[in-house]
Homo-oligomer: A and B are copies of this chain.
Amino acid sequence: MPPVTTSQGRAGTKGVPRAHREQQILAAATVEFGRRGYEGASMAAIAEQVGVTKTLLHQYFGAKQDLYLACLTPVGERLVGALGAAMAGSGSALDAPLPVLRAVFTALEGGREAWFVLYDTGLPPESEAARAARSYRAAIDRLAASGSAEVLRASGPADPLDALDPLDADALKYAWRGLVTGLVHWWIRHPEQSPDAMAQRCARLFAAAGAVFGR
């Protein structure tokens, strides 16, 4: 009987069908890219994680940039879809923050590091991967921008003589994105936390923040 685990160094097939192998590679690559960034990640390290040679990655996905793009696309699609739905489902932007966070956590479950794949800045700016990442980020940013603007308008100056600084909404967008990034960071270091537990935790934190800032 041939061993299920084929001997290591040998050249032939290991009986893993291509589609399955590709999924393994994508999972490992997403983790590695998310942790070390595009430049810091190495093809050989990803391959070793899967138990395979880097040549196979190239044969299945092409160049490093192409592999990155293959990691990026599913997260981008999932996140854009989930965030759009979360925003649409919230009547006012004032109620959006928590549903948005819940959407992020559920979309990211099963590949949390993917968040950093989407927001990595280390790619060659002219690559297809960089263009795709920019595109996804832009889509998310449009949602965040409208939400930020609405929040500032609604909770804006009691005295209408104080005009809104138009840059405030943009800055709020960045602050919010940073906040989410920080929470995802924490979440990665606590793998046992479910998306739901995270959402509840965020609700508690926001309540505390409201008590502090709303005085």
Contact = CB atoms under 8 A, between A and B. Distances in A.
Nearest to A205: B172
Interface stretch (A6-14, A32-40, A55-63, A131-139): A32-40
Nearest to A198: B171
Contact of A168 (B156, B170, B185, B205): B205
A210 interface: yes
B210 A214 contact: yes
Nearest to A204: B168
Given A37-B40, A40-B40, A207-B213, 7 more contacts: A151-B208, A151-B212, A165-B204, A172-B205, A174-B186, A178-B182, A211-B214
A175 interface: yes
A192 to B, nearest CB: 10
17 contacts: A37-B39, A40-B40, A40-B122, A94-B212, A156-B208, A165-B204, A167-B190, A168-B201, A171-B183, A171-B201, A174-B186, A178-B180, A178-B183, A178-B185, A179-B182, A207-B213, A210-B215
Interface residues of A, number: 46
Number of copies: 2
Contacts of A37: 37, 39-40, 122
Interface of A: 35-37, 39-40, 94, 97, 121-122, 151-152, 154-156, 165, 167-168, 170-172, 174-183, 185-186, 190, 201, 204-215
Contacts of A207: 155, 213
A201 B155 contact: no
A175 B213 contact: no
Contacts of A211: 154-155, 214
CB-based closest 6 A-B pairs: A178-B182, A214-B214, A210-B213, A210-B214, A155-B211, A174-B186
A178 B207 CA distance: 18
Contacts of A213: 97, 206-207, 209-210, 213-214
B214 A186 contact: no
